[in-house]
Structure formats: C-alpha cells, structure tokens
C-alpha cells in the first residue's frame, strides 16, 4: 500500500484555520482520499493534556525552554501514535499546525534560536516533514479582532500585538525558505476567493 501524504495547515490567530480545515477535509474526501484530521499540540490523550497546560493562562509561569520541550514532547507522542501509523496505512494526514508553528511561535514570538528548534526537530521527527503546508496569512490586527470576537483568549492569544507580528514574520520567512512546500494563502479576502486558492493549490498537489 502506498504511503499517505502529510498536509499541514498553518497560520496565526484568527486567520480562519478552523473554517478552512473543514473545507480542505471535505475537498480531499470528495476526491476519494482517506484522510485523518488531527491537531497540534494534541492528537493523543497525553498530547492533549500537554496542550491544556500550554494554553491555560491561569497556570504557573512557563519558562521558554519548558514551553518548547512540552511542544516537542506532545509532538513525539503525536507522531508515534497517530501520524506515522496513519501514513504507513495509506491514509493522508491533515494536521492543524505542526513544526512550522514552533519556528513561528517559539522561534519568532519567543525569540528562541532556530538552531535549537532544528535540533529538537531532528531528534523527534527524523526525516518526517509535511508534503504540503498551507499557510493562511492575514494582517495581525484582522486576525486578533477575529480571535477576540470568539470570546475567552488562551495563554498564547493573550500575548501582545508585537508577539503576533513576530510570529507572522517568522511564518512568512519559513515560506520564503521552503517555497516548494509552503504555499501562502491570503485570508483577508472573501471566503470564496480563499477556497478557490486552496482548490488551485491542492489540485496542483494532487496532480
């Protein structure tokens, strides 16, 4: 059985990942592709517990190193118990965030060294990388306005605007460094236009 493909959806707060994740899942299923939808941090019982700790703004102050290690601890569980088994059995993975988010949030937002993240990436993932990454991008002010309209903000969403500007810059830098894998989709446009861009990119990938 041929190995499945690994697609990730990336972007900052309020860029429309939840809405577009459903659209992409339905598009793949329409084309007869068996797809497993998952998320990071999370995807397993233990990884979801780590996610709760990472997002809980009432928890104790989490050091930057602890945050980074928690992200990769959750990822290690996720890869072993969900991602690798699904890909090996021929299923496709559609994942809400993956390691590009670590370069954006911990590398960009927290100003941590990319070399440190890369070392952990190699340790935890080996050669595993997404086959296609869809980076949803919108100006920070627009994204944060959408995020605030949803209600209670989590620990990351409660950061200052400067944090999210750095996150966005880091994401766009990743896209510049990996243009064949990461495709930028602007989401500060009508939803139908976003969906048409997604269809175009995924259609080309399928061909």
From the CB of residue 177, how many other CB atoms can be counted at a distance below 10 Å?
A: 11
> What gap in Å lies between CA 73 and CA 54, rounded to an integer?
12
pLDDT of residue 58: 80
pLDDT given at position 97: 97
pTM for this predicted structure: 0.92
Quote the pLDDT of residue 56. Answer: 87
- C-alpha closest to that of 164 among 145, 186, 179: 145
pLDDT at 207: 86
pLDDT for residue 140: 86
Distance CA 153, CA 136 (A): 20
Domains, in order of start, for the chain: 6-206 (3.40.50.300)
Q: What's residue 152's pLDDT?
A: 77
Query: Residues of the chain whose pLDDT is less than 50?
Result: none
CB contact at 8 A, 97 and 167: no
Closest CA to 168 of 131, 195, 143: 143
pLDDT at 150: 73
Name the residue among 100, 106, 116, 96 with its Cα closest to residue 64: 106
Burial 28-59 (b: 16+ CB within 10 A, else e): beeeebebbbbbbbbbbeebeebbebbbeeee
Residue 146's pLDDT is: 72
> Interior CA angle at 61 toward 57 and 63, to 5°?
120
Q: What is the pLDDT of residue 86?
A: 98
């Amino acid at each position: 059985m041929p190995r499945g493909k690994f697609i990730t959806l990336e972007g900052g707060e309020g860029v429309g990942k939840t809405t577009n994740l459903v659209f992409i899942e339905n598009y793949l299923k329409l084309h007869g592709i068996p797809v497993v939808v998952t998320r990071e941090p999370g995807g397993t019982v233990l990884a979801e517990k780590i996610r709760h700790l990472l997002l809980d703004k009432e928890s104790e102050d989490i050091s930057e190193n602890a945050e980074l290690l928690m992200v990769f601890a959750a990822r290690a569980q996720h890869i072993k118990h969900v991602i690798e088994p699904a890909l090996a059995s021929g299923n496709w993975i559609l994942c809400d965030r993956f390691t590009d988010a670590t370069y954006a949030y911990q590398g960009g937002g927290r100003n941590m060294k990319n070399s440190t993240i890369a070392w952990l990436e190699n340790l935890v993932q080996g050669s595993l990388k997404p086959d296609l990454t869809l980076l949803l991008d919108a100006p920070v002010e627009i994204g944060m306005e959408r995020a605030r309209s949803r209600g209670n903000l989590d620990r990351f969403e409660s950061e200052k605007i400067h944090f999210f500007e750095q996150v966005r810059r880091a994401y766009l830098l990743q896209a510049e460094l990996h243009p064949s894998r990461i495709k930028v989709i602007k989401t500060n446009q009508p939803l139908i236009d976003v969906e048409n861009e997604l269809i175009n990119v995924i259609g080309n990938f399928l061909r």
